[in-house]
Structure 1
């Protein structure tokens, strides 16, 4: 029974629903927790934490959290600001083409860095150096772009001003004061508790994953500790800093992004949240302040479908009026492109030199793309609020980094007088074939032919 809820029996079917969701979506396991005020009122786990040895998931099973880590890193930055170790509005160290971004802008994903991730599944140094992509693509403060590079910068800043490794700092200054014992940080879980094996969308086990941006996604915890963190982290911060954390700059009609928190806008209950997803991980942390409730749903599959189904079921009971639109910060709705038949030629800029690119906009809503001297490929084209042309093509960018595991090419371009300008992205579309790759952004300029 959930004390204080209007319909305490409404979750009686939760076990059956979660078991069905795991089976329908091919997800190995899920761990669910609900906190009310300052205590856990529900902890459940379903499925297998490890399929090979048939080990069941339990409430004590630790899961990788992926980008839920950003909420922890943001809390550490705000705590350092409260202690006078950094200024949220002072430019960070470094040389940049515009004024350097501030911690507040980085926390809000408005620091000017591009989207990026890199994952490596073997020993030795990371083959893709994050510094090759650590460049501003717009003036800080001008627009939202979800960026792991920005949170990497924040983690480095916290380590510099505190003199501690970020994982140690998060454990000693945030989790231990809140009485949360399961926290871990790094490519593998450093604790002694049971850990959920991570699986691809089609059920293959992942090996240890290394990344160049751990401050954005390398935390581990139980669902219970994630739910309690969502409810109790506020006691660590000064009231003004806490208010700033939840003062979310709008990024869509339904959402804003504050300091490491996604905050809903408009109709329905106020929802503060952060989700996470990477190879073998799909997680969600939610707080409903007016109900004094928080929810954590952790799964060990790349496919987010089971996570989303369980979240929707729980939140439909706990927060009437909830919508999935309250959660996803990557919102750039597509529309038909308005560009007419034309031909364009130019370059994709990479650290290894420019790569020739030609496109031909066709009359049927498609674009013919030719990369370097390869054959052309015709693919569908759309536009969005931010871009006049968006294309995804099965073309390999011929750079060392992209050839590792990023076989697709994405183009996002704006129409400017006499040219199309924007970016070209090398990435891998999911992990049903192999493991998740890197997401690598490069500048791109095309001129009318």
Structure 2
């Protein structure tokens, strides 16, 4: 269960049910996290040192707090951990810097307007994507206000991004949601899915909906 089967990042791999941290010299660290609305948990084990750190929090935000508490504890218990952790933080900060510098710049073939529809079982909804030279992507959906596509990414003819909007089908309307675009450029067309992702609500015990996908076809406007 502790044998790595996939790499998740530069600093961590995954076994069967356990996350494996490439880390401290002479110390094999494994862990797993969990959570639900209002609760987050994190468990990290250092078998060779006989150390187990369990963190329970009454929050469902990001995991920075839990990771920092674990890091503080292990830095005290393991002399070699503090130095390794400092290097990890430096590497993560560099990765974030590299990522922030890689602003989205649309491919020349993407520039301009792409018009078409989102096809749902309750009818078609007009959708336009307008790729601007600045890197902004505007997206009016139906009669809704024009919005920006955030986290835009175009690689190997695939375009991804997140936008605000409402599909308004009976199932999608049960939950507050945002929309994820997953489209492939095929000559003069962008086709793929727009995915309804429920927005996590802070109400304890409130059940979250499932992601729903709808087919999208857009054609470039000349």
Normalising by the residue count of structure 2, what TM-score does the alignment of the two structures yield? 0.69
1:310 aligns with 2:80: no
Corresponding residue of 2:93: none
CA contact (8 A) 1:250 1:257 kept: yes
Please show how residues 216-365 of structure 1 align to structure 2 within 5 Å: 242=1, 245-265=2-22, 269-304=27-62, 305-319=64-78, 320=81, 321-322=84-85, 323=88, 335-340=102-107, 341-348=111-118, 350=120, 352=122, 355-365=125-135
Change (3 A) 1:385 1:300: farther
If asked which structure has higher relative contact order (CA below 8 Å, sep 6+), I would say: 1
Deviates more, 1:434-443 or 1:407-416: 434-443
Task: Measure, in 2, the Cα distance between the counterparts of 1:420 and 1:385.
Answer: 13
In 2: Cα distance, 1:387 partner to 1:280 partner: 39
Aligned partners of 2:105 and 2:133 also within 8 Å: no
Supply the distance in 1 between the matched residues of 2:180 and 2:121 (Cα, whole angstroms). Answer: 18
CA distance in 1, matches of 2:73, 2:156: 34
When residues 414 and 281 of structure 1 are mapped into structure 2, their CA distance, relative to the original with a 3 A threshold, is farther
Q: Shift of residue 276 of structure 1?
A: 2.0
- Return closer, same or farther for 1:282/1:350 CA change in 2, 3 Å cut-off: farther
- Map 1:95-244 onto structure 2 (within 5 A): 242=1
Shift of residue 313, structure 1, vs aligned partner? 1.7
Is the Cα–Cα contact under 8 Å of residues 369 and 378 in structure 1 kept in the other structure? yes
For each residue in 1:203-252, what CA deviation from the matched residue of structure 2 results, as whole angstroms up to 9, or x when unmatched?
A: xxxxxxxxxxxxxxxxxxxxxxxxxxxxxxxxxxxxxxx4xx52221233
SS of structure 1 residue aligned to 2:171: helix
How far apart, in 2, do the equivalents of 1:347 and 1:263 lie?
44
Partner Cα separation in structure 1 for residue 185 and residue 29 of structure 2: 36
Contact 1:261/1:272 (CA < 8 Å) preserved in 2? yes
Please report the TM-score for the alignment, with normalisation by the length of structure 1. 0.38
Evaluate the alpha carbon distance shift between residue 317 and residue 345 of structure 1 in structure 2; reply closer, same or farther with a 3 A threshold: farther
Query: Which structure dedicates a bigger proportion of its chain to helix?
Result: 1
CA displacement 1:284-322 (0-9 Å, x = unmatched): 121223433222111121124432332232233345024
Distance in 1 (CA, whole Å) between partners of 2:124 and 2:50 is 54
* Partner SS for 2:104: coil
Aligned length in residues: 199
The answer (yes or no) to whether the contact 1:397–1:407 under 8 Å persists in 2 is: no
Report the CA distance between 1:425 and its aligned residue: 2.8
1:426 paired residue number: 196
Q: What does 1:344-423 correspond to in 2, within 5 Å? A: 344-348=114-118, 350=120, 352=122, 355-383=125-153, 388-423=158-193
Give me the CA root mean square deviation: 3.5
Structure 1: state its 5+ residue gaps: 1-241, 326-332
SS at match of 1:372: coil
Residue 344 of structure 1 and its aligned partner are, at CA, apart by: 1.9
Report the Cα offset of residue 398 of structure 1.
1.4
Secondary structure at the aligned position of 2:172 is classed as helix
| Distance in 1 between residues matched to 2:46 and 2:184, nearest whole Å | 38
Partner Cα separation in structure 1 for residue 77 and residue 192 of structure 2: 42
